[in-house]
Amino acid sequence: MKFKRKNLLLLTIDAFRLDHLSYTGYKKKTTPYLDKLCRKGFFFNQMIVNGPCTPPSFSSMFTSTYPFHQGGYSPLPHNKTTLAEVLKSHGYKTVAIHSTPLLSRFYGYDRGFDIFYDGMMSKDDSSIKKTLLNRFIDKGSLLNDAMNFLQSLNIPKRLQYYVQVAFYTKFIQRKEYYENAKTLLQKAFRWMKKYKSKQNKKPYFLWVHLMEPHDPYFPYNRFLKKVKARGLTIDEIEYIREHPEYMEILREYKMVNKLIDLYDAEIRYLDARLRRFFRKLNRKNRKWLKNTLTVITADHGEEFLDHGMFGHQAQLYDEILRVPLIFISNRLKKIKSKRFGKDKKKNSIRNIVNMRDFSPTILELLGLPQEENFDGSSFANFIFSPRKKEDDLIENGVFSETYHKNKVTRFSSSQRDSTIGRIISYRTPKYKYIIDEESMKEELYDLENDPSEKSNIVKKHPDLASKFKSKIIKHLKQSKKKNLKEIVEKKKISQAIGKIKINI
Ligand SMILES: [Zn+2]
């Protein structure tokens, strides 16, 4: 089924775990507006991201490849075409608005965008800062080494936090850690208004990445009230607004409920900002989204000691891998009512899908031809045709992967540190298998009977475990990055025979 060529509005949300969207039955009313959008469009409830943090998830999303394949982790792989490049080649005006350093021009995320705002440089910046930043452009690997180094520092979390804040406030010169949803959505609205007034015939691709509810969580008091946060005192709330580093103390003392309240209040704030944004766009005299495909999703989730950690470190459990995905357009609305009749609630697509297939799906929904350079394939058929049969419970799975050292995220493999290991998971609708290259620990979970992945059944089902393990080995063989042991051996040989450069 083909669509007329239309605009694409892509809203991505950082660190938004699926089960905190109230549409999925979450006990707190975190997302009254997003719930409405879920009912209006098509909602996928098994979108699995290909990595547990921003770099692997976005690289798979925008270049349609698995993170370890084609060196596609961070920066964006040079040999892969990006979604923005494809849309630009089809005559789209391409615009990005965000304030996330990991998605900045230094990691190649500006590729294919006519206008790229990442909050990193402005006209007023000093020439020293501009020179310094420019030296890093296209040197994402240098930045990765710096990030790996920061992650490896054995200093208290609170101190690490101060280093980060100093970077953001002193170097990037932001008042706050990141630009909030209000600021970014206002920028997006202003751009749309200007573009519309030009009577331009070109369709557009506008990508906005929002940082709420990513940490540090410092929501306004009124949103804490809206999610009925009970654990925090007024004094604490006021203190957190002024001193977001207090969050690290809550983590140290394992104050899980207080942290969840803060996280949920950030989601509630985000929801309110989205409501405002969409209302402005949909006003009667505007109807700016009439010929637009709107897509809302997230890059990964967030953990609150579900598996012993906070945040989104190198773990591949569902609280981190499973995120919301919503497609909305007038055309989809018609298809939905044809498919599901009046029952508005029946629009969840339960098939398992993953970020590697995201860009091909977008192309199909926009009525554009597929891109040969993309590895994935479109899952739009799950929207157009009723679910014919259950997903194959074993064969139909997706991979997620990350670099780590002692379960702490690393931003790339590194020539300097050959002990950086990989964790890879294979997830099917029924099972999750995880293998850690560092400890060689294997885990297997029965997601139907144990959705929170608490009971490791790898010993009970060695047959299944070995089947999944061989799938992962086969998958890694396709990866451009070599096996770590191989890399170490090659390094030793090259050191022995002199200065021979090896590319890993
Ligand atoms: Zn992220």
Ligand 1 midpoint to CA 478 (Å): 26
44 and 83 part of one domain: yes
352 and 378 part of one domain: yes
449-492 residue pLDDT tens: 999 999 999 999 999 999 999 999 888 887 755 444 444 444 44
Question: Are 168 and 178 in contact, with CB atoms under 8 Å apart?
Answer: yes
Ligand 1 midpoint to CA 180 (Å): 15
301-334 residue pLDDT tens: 999 999 999 999 889 999 999 999 999 999 998 8
380-415 residue pLDDT tens: 999 987 655 555 666 779 999 998 887 777 777 655
User: Helix 54-63 crosses helix 358-365 at what angle (to 10 degrees)?
Assistant: 40
352 and 439 part of one domain: no
Question: How many domains is the chain partitioned into structurally?
Answer: 2
CATH number at residue 450: 3.30.1120.10
403 and 375 part of one domain: no
Residue 319 CA to residue 325 CA, distance in Å, equals 15
Ligand 1 midpoint to CA 263 (Å): 14
Radius of gyration of the chain (CA): 22
Ligand 1 midpoint to CA 322 (Å): 13
53: in domain: yes
Question: Are 483 and 421 in contact, with CB atoms under 8 Å apart?
Answer: no
- Burial of residue 34 (CB within 10 Å: 0-12, 13-18, 19+) is buried
The per-residue DSSP string of 65-76 comes to S-TTGGG-SSS-
Ligand 1 midpoint to CA 410 (Å): 14
Nearest Cα neighbor of 471 from 413, 403, 396, 421 is 396
Ligand 1 midpoint to CA 215 (Å): 10
Ligand 1 midpoint to CA 15 (Å): 5
Where is the domain boundary, 323, 353, 382? 382
359 and 296 part of one domain: yes
Q: Strands, DSSP E only, in 167-226?
A: 204-210
430 and 301 part of one domain: no
Q: Find where tokens 């060695």 sit.
A: 462
Residue 483 is part of which domain span? 398-497
Ligand 1 midpoint to CA 71 (Å): 19
pLDDT at 91: 94
* 36 vs 252, higher pLDDT: 36
391: in domain: no
CATH number at residue 178: 3.40.720.10
206: in domain: yes
